[in-house]
Structure 1
């Protein structure tokens, strides 16, 4: 079962519990509404009865105490006062009877079913009076206990109500938390859908780019096939020319032997040979150019095989649109300087294979630039692994001030010194860009 389904079930259960709580609360309110008038009425009745009984009991006890005191005093006074005491006692009894009558009157008003005369006679009997007082007090105690029980039941129900309200509040908090989680999940879902849409858009762009690249590759393969066919024809032409050259050499030997006899004819042949040699040199230069062109084509294919991110860094330096643009954009020193600068910054992000391709491109275009001059003007500066770091003529990408070279990351280049002899080794006299190295 999914998280969403579980959440729905929990929510339904919470709603069901909440409804049950509402029903219980309503039942409690109904019970309280029914009980409160009864409790109030009972409380008022008990208060009235207690008040009246207490008054009668106090009055009764006071009369008893006064009676006892009078008896003690009568024993102490002189005989001559007996008659007066008896008169006072009669007055007290008369007052006592009046008090009893008042009590009976009030009590009979509360309970109309009581026989007033009978109740008055019983109230004048001390023994019966004592029993009645005990009975009433016992009854009131029972009533008090019943009221206390009701109060305890009300208190218990109020506690239950409070607990249910706390449970409802807890359930509401959980509902709010679930709703918040729901909202968060919904937001995450919307964000993920947006990301998926962006990814699909990028995938479509990559698919289009892939199709374009495959078309370019097919076109390049077709052009490569044409160049290979042209090269094969040129090779056949060279073979034919070599055969012609051999024939000419044979004829030349014969002409030398017949030099004196055929001076005039030899001069004509020499002229023809010169013309032919000039034509041969032109063909040879053309063949060399074709070889360089083929090499450049292969180099262009390698260049396009580099990582797309590196190609994007170089797209304003070496134009990648087509082979002709690539060649024309590489025949400048500024392009070589820009390649050097990019490698210096991005060397950590360039694979070893791509660095080797860029070295080939750099070396090829520098050699092509030199062909503009009668003698080579620029030369590469390389560093051997293991040699000491030269802080003046080298750039250490490790940012060490000394140490040994562990890798020549990229070539440098500079101006070549003039040669006294053609066979002398080419030496870079003044560095334009120092080689990039790593040291340890």
Structure 2
């Protein structure tokens, strides 16, 4: 059922709409080397085949998973010979992101002289996975997951097609059931057609009718798209973190469920949620960190699925409670000063003086014991190296428990400043 023309393509309306730049280029045969970036089953291979068809060029395909540099060189040599004879070659490289830099560089001179029309397919972000030299010679086209309505159209076409599809078998499938298959395919047309084919085989023993019971067997073990090491992984953890930061517990819970459903390691999620408790909630609600550690320990003891609820409750709490990144920002400022100012000597009054010699050298001299000072704080005593002077890293926000910390520190800082002016 692979489309044999642009009109048979389903989905990708933005990229292949009538009058679009890519559609005009493909239809006219005046094409450029390109990278097709999109999820599985969205039409990357089909589009590459159509590029060769419309360009009246020879189609050659290699997979970066199965091919090495000798295979690449052989295909390129054949394309060069074809080019010398006046014929074009569309070289389709599936999973191109799996080639290393040396393998990717092998294509460059052939793209430049025009002996190949390079079409690379990838499910990963080309900016991260492909070298800049290859990217500069190709145009990147972003393909999207095919929506359920378009997948239903592809399924109906397969049911009606007697030459390539399931037409002629007398199959009966309700539109509602086709919709279930389309949603279960999760944007992957190839997967949807496979599910329909399995359902058709089961239905042959049931009078040719695909029933809800039949479909339940077919869809029992379906899973959603999730790449544990790819861009989808990082996009989803980013969505979870930003939903927590935005105080949106419903969205945060959705992304947590998506990642657990996709097979993400719960220990990784527990670690990231703990980081959110420190980075984004911080001292606005110090209970959040303790709750994160307890949720992590609870999951370690219970495992999945019982322990999933502990992570879910933690997610809800982190998203719902007061937020402050003041501690996080203060830590970054302190680290920046350490890098900038180097190894500054500890002020004499702050040094430890366990021996007579150290006392004679002035270690600990003029140190004021804060508990003996009025209010419990020695206001005219600095805690920084002499060459740096006082610094202000931590600036509490007026949210949650930091409101009280802000009130106290504002008063102390003002009093210290007044004491320093009085001393000067």
TM-score (norm 2): 0.17
Q: Which has the higher contact order (CA 8 A, sep 6+)?
A: 2
Q: Which has the higher helix share?
A: 1
